[in-house]
Structure 1
Amino acid sequence: MDITKLALTPPMGWNSWDCFSVSVTEEEVKQNADFVARHLKKFGWEYIVVDLAWFAPGATHETYKQLNIPQLIDEYGRLIPDPEKFPSSANGNGFKPLADYVHGLGLKFGIHIMRGIPVQAVDAKTPVKGTDLTADQVSYNRESCPWYNSLRTLNFAEKGAQEYYNSIFELYASWGVDYIKADDMNSWHEVQNSDGSPTGEGSPYRIDDIEGVHRAIENCGRPMVLSLSPGGPETTNIRHLREHSNLWRISADFWDEWGSLKKQMERCAVWAPFSTPGHWPDADMLPLGYMPRGESGGQDRNTNFNQDEQVTLITLWAMFKSPLMFGGHLPKCDDFTISLLTNQDVIDINQHSKNNRELYRNGETVMWTADDEKSDARYIAVFNISDEKRAVNTDLKSLMNLEGVKATDLWSKEGLGQCVGNLTLDIEPHGVRLVKLS
């Protein structure tokens, strides 16, 4: 299976990380899958992804980063779901019953995985399926993940590492997995210098593991979208990224802070020229709505973004053509949040536009543009990144060689009339106006 033929438009779905961290349960996954099927599927939302620690009994937000936490493995050293969190996985069923449930709703099922092999497999010297080797012989205890310390690094200098990855993807294929979020793969740095260069804690770009997972997917007999995480890779890796993955993160975990959103806007501008069908730079999940047990920003809370910032977030992700993975607990999200996910005009930009790029920035204003794939319409998004309301005048004639066009605000649905050459927009602080020109 050639994964480069998958994800021809940016994937859209729900992921458990922002709202449930490492303690999501089967019932909570089903609740969100049911909501997507009833309310969002018709707009293109389709993936249901279970994030980190589905295999770790008792893991909590406070404990999962500890060294060598409990993890469940099968006879071949492969991680299997915790039946306390996922009761249908008992008796060797794995995620097949849950995947079948999701598929029965007309949706697709995904899981998060970590780079490497579980420490429990190494300690028990479990056999590597398809070889005469054991887990301790195909791994070593170096280069551990900075934020999850319960796996060992596979040794691709010797036989057995690829076979281990082959074995886990054989298992995932039997479960019916459609989407893989592979963690501790992409280069990432916690701290950056003022010029954007990396420093401090981080993780390198894992060439052997990325290629190993790619080969395992190709050989497993089931199509699976591959998303690499976390992020911050150099654009000089673009050929390798495109050849071996469908999505790759462009930052560490993104959370609901205005400063982080402004920084993400800069990263999106850098990466926008590298998007192509089947291969998408990923601005990360959408930390919106209700997050009862999330990883950052406190427990039992709603997003820290105000409404204008939320509109800015969705608009940027749409104009950038980022994958759209919603992070809140959907059944407890308010109507405003759901309205952000069901604006067909905005989704169409994310799914069916081209030439997406930042057109200019002047310190307080940032403007993006894109072209509709199906017509001669153009889109502009004018962001006010200042802390005050501003009237922004945009010279469409000089910037885009446009005049005499009809303008429509895609969030308010308000017609803005004919623009002879200039378009003046009132924009709230941290807000945006998204306009279709036709």
Structure 2
Amino acid sequence: MMKCFSVSLASLWVLLALFSLSVSSQNISESGLQQASLPPRGWNSYDSFCWTISEDEFLQSAEMVSQRLKAHGYQFVVVDYLWYRKKVKGAYPDSLGFDVIDEWGRMIPDPGRWPSSIGGKGFSEVANKVHSLGLKFGIHVMRGISTQAVNANTPILDITKGGAYQESGRVWHAKDIAMPERACAWMPHGFMSVNTKLGAGRAFLKSLYEQYAAWGVDLVKHDCVFGDDLDLNEISYVSEVLSVLNRPIVYSLSPGTSVTPAMAKDVSGLVNMYRITGDDWDKWEDVKAHFDVTRDFSTANMIGGKGLKGNSWPDLDMLPFGWLTDPGSNEGPHRFSKLTLEEKRTQMTLWSLAKSPLMYGGDVRRIDPTTYELITNPTLLEINYSSSGGVR
């Protein structure tokens, strides 16, 4: 018997209810009419590389997504966290002092891993190559400002006027806007909130997202601002900045530990994707935990609601199939997913029925035939895009 039947009766109810969804006649080609009108699909580097991915590895992966997954709606390729961290001895996910920042305290790609960024180019060349493959480029970003920038007390850029931000006859710096008491709970040495009530705090955040747009970014995955780490002020202001940029950028929130529909109602209209669970890894316990939360969000009519310049989607996290790394690892992909085939089928089915964004997490360069058939299953992909009834 498939392990999906080992869940609670309440969880089984949501699966049966979701299976009753009918397939609508929505034309998938209409997906470009508004931002995230359908649940976004793509590949994210975290499950297979943690933070260590290099430019060559990323572009190889993008090439494979273009060749094998693009035709199935997988559009985004996303560099997950710490792309600005030097991969040297002593560096790990919560280390301090190994990041590359510019004169304004903004994170920029580590040139050792991202050589095309040398000369102030940032991710521009990487984004151009991704776009040439017919794909969209995404990056992971953290809350507020880095501890490293605060310790260096870098000046704040006024991107509207150029030069340092000045107000009340003074030049403002990182320590003026930082909120050490709001450090990221799971990366306390890394990042902290900024005071969005201050003009300088808003100027700093605006300078970040204007830079991402200039690089050609199409999606930002904004971390440590939702769930247990909720920072509604930062989410609201970032959404405001993104809403007036010339470049459309899909706005995603992650992670979502302890999220409820009531909490999500405050952010769903500001974003396009928002995680409603903690990190999902290749353990049946992680998959099983998604049934009840999926039921709650479906019952609350949250699926496909109005979002930033389009729709917003509760996000069940990535699909940890194929070749993976380990959480918090300094290694690339080195082991195969521990989920059984039945467990993977259950996960892919639930994600599709719940109309969750589908972000594959395994090493796409080494994707095995069974995994490929699963994540490109035409019936499940059609349900993921075109089912109706999940939103009443």
Same fold (TM over 0.5): yes
Q: How far apart are 1:217 and its partner, in Å?
A: 1.2
- Contact 2:316–2:357 (8 Å) recurs in 1: yes
- Code of the residue aligned with 1:347 in structure 2: it is L
Question: Are 1:270 and 2:296 an aligned pair?
Answer: yes
Q: How far apart are 1:293 and its partner, in Å?
A: 5.7
> What are the equivalent positions in structure 2 for 1:20-99 lying under 5 Å apart?
20-58=49-87, 63-66=92-95, 68-99=96-127
- Paired residue secondary structure (1:356): coil
Q: How far apart are 1:238 and its partner, in Å?
A: 3.7
CA distance in 1, matches of 2:296, 2:380: 22
Q: How many residues align?
A: 339
**Partner of residue 302, structure 1:** 336
Q: How far apart are 1:241 and its partner, in Å?
A: 1.6
CA distance in 1, matches of 2:196, 2:202: 7
Given candidates 242, 254, 257, the residue that maps to 1:229 is 254
**Partner of residue 410, structure 1:** none
> What are the equivalent positions in structure 2 for 1:197-236 lying under 5 Å apart?
203=229, 205-231=230-256, 232-236=258-262
Q: How far apart are 1:240 and its partner, in Å?
A: 2.0
Q: Kindly indicate which of the two structures has a greater share of residues assigned to helix.
A: 2
- Contact 2:85–2:91 (8 Å) recurs in 1: no
Question: Are 1:125 and 2:159 an aligned pair?
Answer: no
- Contact 1:121–1:135 (8 Å) recurs in 2: yes
C-alpha change, 1:244 and 1:160, in structure 2 (3 Å) is: same
- Paired residue secondary structure (2:390): strand
Q: How far apart are 1:5 and its partner, in Å?
A: 4.1
CA distance in 1, matches of 2:190, 2:80: 16
- Between structure 1 and structure 2, the one with the greater Rg is 1
**Partner of residue 42, structure 2:** 13
Given candidates 265, 269, 285, the residue that maps to 1:259 is 285
**Partner of residue 195, structure 2:** 155
Cα shift readout 1:18-74 (whole Å, capped 9, x = no counterpart): 0000101111111111111101111100100000100011278982223x2421111
- Code of the residue aligned with 1:222 in structure 2: it is R
Given candidates 247, 250, 273, the residue that maps to 2:273 is 247
- Paired residue secondary structure (1:274): coil
In structure 2, stretches of 5+ residues that fail to align are 1-32, 159-164, 167-171, 306-310
**Partner of residue 360, structure 2:** 326
Instruction: State the structure with bigger RCO (CA 8 A, min sep 6), 1 or 2.
Output: 2
**Partner of residue 137, structure 1:** 176
CA distance in 2, matches of 1:311, 1:94: 39
**Partner of residue 423, structure 1:** none
**Partner of residue 384, structure 1:** none
- Contact 2:50–2:325 (8 Å) recurs in 1: no
CA distance in 2, matches of 1:292, 1:263: 22
CA distance in 2, matches of 1:43, 1:214: 29
CA distance in 2, matches of 1:154, 1:60: 30
- Contact 1:182–1:228 (8 Å) recurs in 2: yes
**Partner of residue 15, structure 2:** none
In structure 1, stretches of 5+ residues that fail to align are 189-202, 358-369, 371-438
State the TM-score, normalizing by the size of structure 1: 0.74
> What are the equivalent positions in structure 2 for 1:367-406 lying under 5 Å apart?
none
CA distance in 1, matches of 2:115, 2:327: 22
- Contact 1:138–1:159 (8 Å) recurs in 2: no
Q: How far apart are 1:153 and its partner, in Å?
A: 2.1
